[in-house]
Amino acid sequence: MDCIAIKKDGQIIDLQTAQALDIKLEDNEQIKADSSAEALEVLRHSTAHLMAQAIKELHPEAKFFVGPVVKEGFYYDFKLEHQLNDEDLPAIEKKMKELAGKKLPIERFEVSRKEIIKKFASDELKQAVLEKICDDVLTIYKQGDFEDLCRGPHVPNTRMIRNFKLIRVAGAYLGGDEANEMITRIYGISFFDKAELKDYVTMLEEAKKRDHRRLGTDLKLFTFSDDIGAGLPLWLPAGARLRGKLEQLLYKAHRVRGYQPVCAPEILKAEAWVKSGHYANYKENMYFTTVESQEYGLKPMNCVGHIAIFKDDLVSYRDLPLKFFEYGIVHRHELSGALHGLFRVREFTQDDAHIFCTQTQVKTEIIEVLEFVESLMGHFNFEYELEVSTKPKKAIGDDEFWETTTKGIMDALDENGYTYGIDEGGGAFYGPKIDIKILDAIGRKWQCGTIQIDMNLPERFDLHYTTKDDTRERPVMIHRAILGSFERFIGILTEHYAGEFPLSIAPTGVILIPIADSHVEYAKQLQKELQEIEIDSDVFDKNDSLNKRIRTAEKQRVPMIVVIGDDEVANSTIALRDRRARERSEMTKEAFIQMLNNKKSEDRI
């Protein structure tokens, strides 16, 4: 397989650069044209250039800003005299294929800063890019007539770029700043392997069908309103039922694991946020208000309230670990451009808990939380991965604290046979953490729950417990959320199940369809009995034909549909269509209720 670049001191260096700097390929780790992250980075950045070249050929007036590789492919930001939309993408792709087929060499040149400024004199976007770079010697990459200011890395020629797809056109503020003009962005993806591209495109199509924003509207789960504010979800009755069921399941799961429910206020004095470090480290994400000359901050996290509850009583070593949990509503300011359905909102509810424990209990507690995670993920058929995040740039606490706690987390995971990735610099400002990444039904990865170890807040708030010998000791605080937030998790569940929720959380478990008016009373009686065992149902007794009502019921994606006619009323039976099992069966009303009751008692996290 072709070598397309090398890796030297953690940096990817393409062949063009290696040749210019006289770096021998044999002496270094070689990057082949395969599916590794490094190989795809080189390929995708080259695909971004190929796209820019194609756009330039089709629209000679085009000016280009930057074209980076991102987690899901690449994009390029640019400016045209007219608006592009998704219908323009096939023409650009066609041009790209044509240019790729020419096997144009991709060449690298070193140019002085002065020369570059002159070269791009009439291009205000490149001037904006240049303002951000202070090097005296810069590099240009050239393929055919197209050249671009670029650090690389690139594949050696355009022929290597074969399997790509342009995904969508979007708008983007120049340099990501809302104060700047809006320019055009095109997202795309590419692979060396044809089959991988095919799988990716299939996944995208499937994801579109499952989009929780669309299903959320179709199934009447939630909505947003301009009158209320962006990023502030409104839960409609069906969505609130779903959420309520999830809350109840999780409430039980916490209680059997020894957690105590607590509630703390939404707004806390600003001084509390100064003490916690949020004022200095997290202020830009928070909302503040001043009442009677006292400044308050809306909580972005629930920790400070739980700390105040911990401090309300004298705590003995016998009380530890002490576990407080709350469905804590938090507010965090997100840029309006970052808001996305239920995935990124400004108000959300966390399944938040704080475990106060001794140093020696930390490992056991981490493992217990991971057991909880396993149980929840298993319930919803999610696979998941763990990632340990280390000290970020903005952090409190000394290096020794960070080293010992980070090592403590990894030891706990290692000793218990967990595998995990590492996210350098991804920790919370007060401590390292374990992130839980969910893999959904179509293979996408989502960041959800987190477990964080914290010795800073107990120090700042002077928390202590009394030991066996009646001395005072500082507890460790573990912050943890398993779902993360109800909003995001329900968004993920909606896409994971494509709206076909399992009975344990389905907003409506059963739709009852009486064939004629004379069967309505029986249906309504059954509905009452179902409500008593906490199964929500709906009676479809509108004046539509039976077939139409069955079709409407099926569109609602409910687990079960029950049809009631003369026979059913006479014999006290029901005719059941189980959508998930794709089965039809007849049974007595009692057997039906018994079956649902059994299913419910199996629903345990």
332 carries an active-site annotation: yes
Q: Quote the least distance from Cβ 577 to Zn ion, whole Å.
A: 46
Find the catalytic residue in 332, 346, 519, 577. Answer: 332
Candidate ranges 201-209, 410-418, 479-487, 556-564; the one touching Zn ion (CB under 5 A)? 479-487
Contact 81, 187 (CB under 8 A): no
Which two three-digit tokens encode residue 418?
């967990």
448 carries an active-site annotation: no
44 carries an active-site annotation: no
Q: Quote the least distance from Cβ 306 to Zn ion, whole Å.
A: 7
* Whole-angstrom distance, CA of residue 34 vs CA of residue 196: 11
Candidate ranges 262-270, 420-428, 443-451, 475-483; the one touching Zn ion (CB under 5 A)? 475-483
Q: Which residues contact 118 (CB under 8 A, 6 or more apart)?
A: none
The residue assigned the tokens 């010697």 is: 137
Find the catalytic residue in 165, 212, 323, 354. Answer: 354
Helix (H) or strand (E) holding 109: strand 107-112
Find the catalytic residue in 350, 361, 452, 556. Answer: 350
Q: Which is nearer to Zn ion, 150 or 448 (CB)?
A: 150
Pairing of strands 560-564, 476-485: unpaired
- E-strand ranges in 377-432 read 383-389, 421-423
Which two three-digit tokens encode residue 528?
């009452």
- CB neighbours (10 Å) of residue 226? 6
Q: Quote the least distance from Cβ 303 to Zn ion, whole Å.
A: 3
313 carries an active-site annotation: no
77 carries an active-site annotation: no
Interface of this chain with Zn ion, residues 248 to 307, rule: CB under 5 A: 301, 303
Cα of 268 vs its chain's centroid, Å: 28
Candidate ranges 147-155, 159-167, 263-271, 578-586; the one touching Zn ion (CB under 5 A)? 147-155
Q: Which amino acid is at 213?
A: R
Round the CA-based radius of gyration of the chain to a whole number and report it: 29
Find the catalytic residue in 433, 437, 488, 557. Answer: 433
Q: Which is nearer to Zn ion, 307 or 513 (CB)?
A: 307
Q: Which is nearer to Zn ion, 277 or 565 (CB)?
A: 277
Interface of this chain with Zn ion, residues 296 to 355, rule: CB under 5 A: 301, 303
Q: Quote the least distance from Cβ 153 to Zn ion, whole Å.
A: 9
Binds Zn ion by CB under 5 A, chosen from 150, 219, 370, 483: 150
* Whole-angstrom distance, CA of residue 15 vs CA of residue 17: 5
Q: Which is nearer to Zn ion, 301 or 515 (CB)?
A: 301
Closest Cα to residue 514, out of 550, 537, 535, 541? 541
Q: Quote the least distance from Cβ 148 to Zn ion, whole Å.
A: 6
Q: Which is nearer to Zn ion, 437 or 479 (CB)?
A: 479
Helices marked H in 102-236: 113-119, 124-131, 194-210, 212-218
Q: Which is nearer to Zn ion, 268 or 303 (CB)?
A: 303
Find the catalytic residue in 14, 148, 351, 352. Answer: 352
**In the sheet that 137-143 helps form, which strands lie side by side, from edge to edge?**
107-112, 137-143, 146-149
Total residues at the site for Zn ion (CB under 5 A)? 4
Question: How does DSSP assign 8-62, residue by residue?
Answer: ETTEEEEHHHHHHTT--STTSEEEESSSSHHHHHHHHHHHHHHHHHHHHHH-TT-
Q: Which is nearer to Zn ion, 69 or 560 (CB)?
A: 69
Q: Quote the least distance from Cβ 285 to Zn ion, whole Å.
A: 14
Q: Is the dihedral of CA 268, 271, 275, 276 positive or negative?
A: positive
> CA angle 528-534-536, nearest 5°?
70
Binds Zn ion by CB under 5 A, chosen from 323, 479, 488, 589: 479
Closest Cα to residue 477, out of 459, 493, 491, 489? 459
Q: Quote the least distance from Cβ 278 to Zn ion, whole Å.
A: 11
Find the catalytic residue in 150, 303, 357, 448. Answer: 303
Q: Quote the least distance from Cβ 184 to Zn ion, whole Å.
A: 17
Q: Which is nearer to Zn ion, 307 or 510 (CB)?
A: 307
Interface of this chain with Zn ion, residues 536 to 595, rule: CB under 5 A: none
- What three-state secondary structure class fits 133? coil
3 carries an active-site annotation: no
248 carries an active-site annotation: no
Binding site for Zn ion (CB under 5 A): 150, 301, 303, 479
Report, as residue numbers or ranges, the catalytic residues: 303, 332, 350, 352, 354, 433, 479
